[in-house]
A and B are shown apart, each in its own frame.
Chain A
Amino acid sequence: MQWLDAVIQGVLLGGMYAQYALGMALMFGVMRIVNIAHGDVMILLSLIAVSLAGVLPFGNLGLIVVIVPIAVVIGWILQKFILNKVVGADPLPSLIATFGLSIALQNFMLELWSADTRSLPNSDIASASFQIGSIYVGLLPVIVLITALVLTGGLDAVLRFSRFGRGLRAAAADTEAAAMTGVDPKRIYAIATAIAVGILGLAAVFAALRATVSPSDGSAQLIYAFEAVIIGGMGSVWGAFLGAMVLGVAQAIGLRIDPGLGILFGHLVFLAVLATRPEGIMARKK
C-alpha cells in the first residue's frame, strides 16, 4: 500500500513536471534551443504571482488570468531580443546567452524578493483532499495533473491539425524549405516561445500554490523539465508528459526509501534511460 501511495503521489508530482517540460519540448523541437533560464522564468512568474496576490483581490483563478498574459509578454520579449539572435546550427551562442540570462535573473530576483521562500496564501483548494481506500489524494495535485493532461492533449492537437502546427513542424524539419513555401520562421518561433512561456505562467501559479518558491529554485526546475523531455523522447509532447510521470514516480519512490534519495533517484532513472533507451521511451521510429 505504501508503494501504491508513492506511485500515485509520483504521478501527481509528474503533473507539475509535465507543465515545465511541455514548453521546453516545444522550443527545442522547433528551434533546437534550450533556454537555460526556463526554470528561472517560471520562478520569476511565481514570485510575481505571490506579490500580486497581496494586492489584487481576484483569488487564485483570477491570478492565472493575470499571470498567463504576463508570461506571454515575457516570452515575446525573450524571443525578440535574445533567442532570435542566437537561433542557428551552433548550440553555443544560445546556451551561453540563456545561461547569462539565468544568472542575471536569479540574482535580480534575489535582490528584489530576497532569499526567503514564499508561497501563495493558503486557499481551500490547496488544502482540500479526498480519500480513496486508505490513500489520501490532494485536490490541487489532481487539478494540476488534469491541467497538464489537457495542455498536452491541446498542444498535440494544435501541432497536428492547425495551420500554425503544420508551419511549426515544417520549420522544425527544414527551416529554409519551410520559408520557401511561405512559412515565416520568425513568426513560428515567436508563437512557439509565447506558448511555451505562457504554459510556464500557469505552472508558476500552481507551483506557488502547491509548495514554496525561492529565487534559487529555477535550476532544479530546468533539470526536471529536461529529464522529463529526454526520458519521454525528444520531439513528442506526449513523450514529455510520460517522461514527467516516470520522473515523478522515480522521485516519489526514492523519497520513500530515504528522504535524501528522492531527487537522486530521478537523476538515476534519467541516466538509466539514457544508457538503455537513449531515444526515449516514446520516440518515433526513424
Chain B
Amino acid sequence: MTSKTHHTEVVRATRSSRIAMTLCLALLLALIAMPWWASSGNIRWAIELSCYIAIAQMWNLLAGYAGLVSVGQQAFIGVSGYLLFVLAQNFGVNPFVAVLLSLIAPAILAVPTYLLLRRLDGPYFAIGTWVVAEAVRLATSNIDYVNAGAGLTLRVMTQYSQHEREVGFVLLCALLLLTTIGGSYWLLRSRIGLALTAMRDNPVAAASQGVNVGRLRFYIFIAAAVGTGFAGAIYYMAQLRITPSAGFDPFWGSMSIFIVMVGGIGAIEGVLIGALIYFLADRLFGEFGSAYLIVLGLLTLVIALYARGGVWGLLQKWGDHAWFPVRRKLIVEENP
C-alpha cells in the first residue's frame, strides 16, 4: 500500500478580497488626507457618510448575526452625544478626547437594557428597545443640568481653527470606520465569527454545538451600543448642537434598517452599498420630504417581502466576489 502525502492549505483571501482590501486602505488614507485636498463641504459629507456606515454596520451585527432586532439604537447615539457635550463643555475636557470617554455611556446603558429586554420574545424585544430609547429621551428632556428640551451647544470648539477641527474629525472618522467595519470583519473571521454565523443560521443548533448564545448576544449588544454611540458622538460634535429630539430621534433606527435591508443584511458589503445608496438618495431626493420617505418605506417593505438579501444578495447571484470573505476554503494538493 502506497501512502500519498498531502499538502493542505486553508485559503481565506480571494482575488476580489485583495482588491477590496487595497481599495479600502486607499480610501481610508484619502479620508485622512481630506483636510489637505477637499473642501469643507466635502469633509462634512465624509463625516456624515462615515457615521451612517458605522451605525448601520452595528445594526447589521445585531440583526444580521445576533438575531437581535432593535429599533432603539438612537438611545446609544443620544447618551454618548450628551456625555461628550457635558464633558467638553462643563468639565473642560478636550472634545476630541471626550469623544472616546463618552463611549462609557452607551456601554453602561446597554447592560441593564439587555438584561431587561432579553426576556421579551423576538418582535417584542424590538419594541422594548424603542421604549428604552423613548424613556431615555424623556428623562433627558426633564433634566435641567443638560438644559432640558432646549439642548446643548458645543461652544468650546471655537478654540480650534477650522483646519485643526477638520484634521481631528477625519482622524476620528478613520478610527470609527476601523473599529466598526474593520472590527466587525476581524470578529467575523475569528472563532467568534464562526459562532456568530452558526447563530445567525440557527440559534438552537448553534447552542447544541457549544455556542453560548445568550452570552454572545449580550456581548454583541454591548459592542453594537458602543459602536453606535461612537458614531453618534462624532456626528453631534460635527453638528455642534444636540437636543433630546434630535439625539434620540427614532429616525436613526429607520435609517439603519433602510441601509442594511436595501444593501443586504448579514454582509459588510451590504452595509457599504446601502449606506452609499441612502446617502445619494438623501442628497438627490431629500428635498421631496414625505414623498421621498414614502418611497423609502415602501422599498423597505418590498425588500422584506421579496428580496431579503437586498442589493448585495442580488449581486451575489452573478458570482461569488466577496469583498470581505469570511469563509475558509480548504485546498488539498496531492504530492507526487
The chain A residues found within 8 Å of chain B, CB to CB, are 28, 32-34, 36, 82, 85-86, 90-97, 99-108, 110-111, 219, 222-223, 226-227, 230, 234, 258, 260-261, 263-264, 267-268, 270-271, 274-275, 278
Contacts of A261 in B (CB 8 A): 138, 142
A108 x B124 contact (CB < 8 A): no
**Bound: A100/B253 CA distance, A:** 12
A28 x B124 contact (CB < 8 A): yes
What are 16 pairs between A and B in contact, CB < 8 Å?
Answer: A34-B123, A34-B124, A92-B67, A95-B126, A96-B304, A99-B71, A100-B301, A100-B302, A103-B293, A103-B297, A107-B291, A223-B131, A264-B135, A267-B134, A268-B135, A274-B119
A107 x B301 contact (CB < 8 A): no
In order of increasing CB-CB distance, the 4 nearest A-B pairs are A104-B297, A91-B122, A100-B300, A103-B297
User: Chain B residue with minimal CB distance to A94?
Assistant: B123
User: Chain A residue with minimal CB distance to B250?
Assistant: A219
Indicate whether B53 reaches chain A with its CB closer than 8 angstroms.
Answer: no
Indicate whether B97 reaches chain A with its CB closer than 8 angstroms.
Answer: no
Q: How many residues of B contact A (CB 8 A)?
A: 45
The chain B residues found within 8 Å of chain A, CB to CB, are 63, 67, 69, 71, 116-117, 119-124, 126-128, 130-132, 134-135, 138-139, 141-142, 250, 254, 257, 261, 265, 289-291, 293-294, 296-305, 308
User: Chain B residue with minimal CB distance to A38?
Assistant: B127
What is the minimal beta-carbon distance from B93 to any residue of chain A, in angstroms?
29
A264 x B142 contact (CB < 8 A): yes
A258 x B301 contact (CB < 8 A): no
B127 x A34 contact (CB < 8 A): yes
B131 x A270 contact (CB < 8 A): yes
User: Chain A residue with minimal CB distance to B291?
Assistant: A111
A93 x B134 contact (CB < 8 A): no
Contacts of A34 in B (CB 8 A): 123-124, 126-127
What is the minimal beta-carbon distance from A220 to any residue of chain B, in angstroms?
8
**Bound: A110/B289 CA distance, A:** 10
What is the minimal beta-carbon distance from A85 to any residue of chain B, in angstroms?
5
A100-B123 contact, Cβ under 8 Å, with A92-B69, A110-B290: no
User: Chain A residue with minimal CB distance to B260?
Assistant: A96
User: Chain A residue with minimal CB distance to B149?
Assistant: A260
Q: Which of B123, B138, B294 has the most chain A CB within a 10 Å cutoff? A: B123
Q: Which of A102, A111, A267 has the most chain B CB within a 10 Å cutoff? A: A267
**Bound: A267/B291 CA distance, A:** 32
Q: Which of B117, B124, B299 has the most chain A CB within a 10 Å cutoff? A: B124
Query: Which residue of B127, B261, B290 is within 8 Å of A96 (Cβ)?
Result: B261
Q: Which of A36, A90, A95, A103 has the most chain B CB within a 10 Å cutoff? A: A103
User: Chain A residue with minimal CB distance to B126?
Assistant: A95
Contacts of B121 in A (CB 8 A): 32, 91, 234
User: Chain B residue with minimal CB distance to A89?
Assistant: B122
**Bound: A103/B124 CA distance, A:** 19
What is the minimal beta-carbon distance from B264 to any residue of chain A, in angstroms?
13
B254 x A99 contact (CB < 8 A): yes
B142 x A227 contact (CB < 8 A): no
What is the minimal beta-carbon distance from B310 to any residue of chain A, in angstroms?
11
Query: Which residue of B124, B265, B300 is within 8 Å of A99 (Cβ)?
Result: B300
B130 x A274 contact (CB < 8 A): no
